[in-house]
Amino acid sequence: MAKIAFVGLGNMGGPMAANLVKAGHDVSVFDLSAAAVGHAVEAGAHSAESSIAAVEGAEYLITMLPAGVHVSSVMVKKDALLDKVSKDCLVIDSSTIDAATAREMAQEASDRGIQFVDAPVSGGVGGAVAGTLAFMVGGSEEAFAKALPVLECMGKNIFHAGDSGAGQVAKACNNMMLAVLMAGTSEALNMGINNGLDPKVLSEIMSKSSGNNWALQVYNPVPGVMEGVPSSNDYQGGFMVDLMCKDLGLAMDNSQASRSPVPMGSAARGVFNLHQAKGNGGLDFSSVFRLFNRED
């Protein structure tokens, strides 16, 4: 059993902390949302009065925060947790942020003699609840090996992507491709519907053909085609359009920094930004189907 501090209990962080408790770890949590903390306590975690109190005696610190500015604030600025944790504490940042900030935080930690990995996740809220997330980890081999037993309590597929920042780059690549696939799947299904096809039948055809992809397999964007997904719950829950737009922005930053042409990624970003601008930022990203569908 390890003593773990968990800071950031949003839609993803809350279930992740709960799975750590379920695995037998001693988990101390902090979040600005009292309700989020309450849910974690119900799952068996301990509530801390502050992030600083949460890390006292911690062997691991896991953060799950909205953006790089929040990670920087918690690590070295406002809360300065890197000055509060012990030298033996491994810091795992599972936020999805820019690679530059991840590398900066890794250097700040190294300067203090502390190990740090960036470990963003994929798999959505469902994966967080089920403990089947994919982790893309950036950091040293030694730090990855130390993080692995803890990450395995929350995820099914754990990858060492490379040095510091590599996890964030891998996440940006993955989510850019996901956006392209969801937009393309939505417009293809919509075209079929407009030409008189049953979306369930068309989805089955494409899932058994060369157009098969993750959206067709487990996350169909057309309401009523698949049970247990956001499209069949008025696009509530899941991965918000606002977050997809943020991730696509990070992908564009990476493309510019590496001078990588991303015409499909750029097109997907335009599609999701337009969908967001129409007031759909709080809906699941599969709601992009509504941008194409005549009924909406």
Point out the residues that are catalytic.
Answer: 171
Report which of 53, 44, 7 is spatially closest to residue 26, judged by C-alpha positions: 44
CB 119 within 8 A of CB 92: yes
Q: Collect all residues with Cβ–Cβ distance below 8 Å to 267 and sequence separation of at least 6.
A: 180, 183
What are residue 292's phi and psi, to 5 degrees? -100, -30
The single-letter code of the amino acid at 247 is D
CB 24 within 8 A of CB 44: no
CB 281 within 8 A of CB 241: yes
- In Å, what is the CA distance from 24 to each residue of 6, 98, 131, 271? 15, 32, 14, 44
Rg over alpha carbons for the chain, rounded to the nearest Å, is: 20
Q: Collect all residues with Cβ–Cβ distance below 8 Å to 204 and sequence separation of at least 6.
A: none
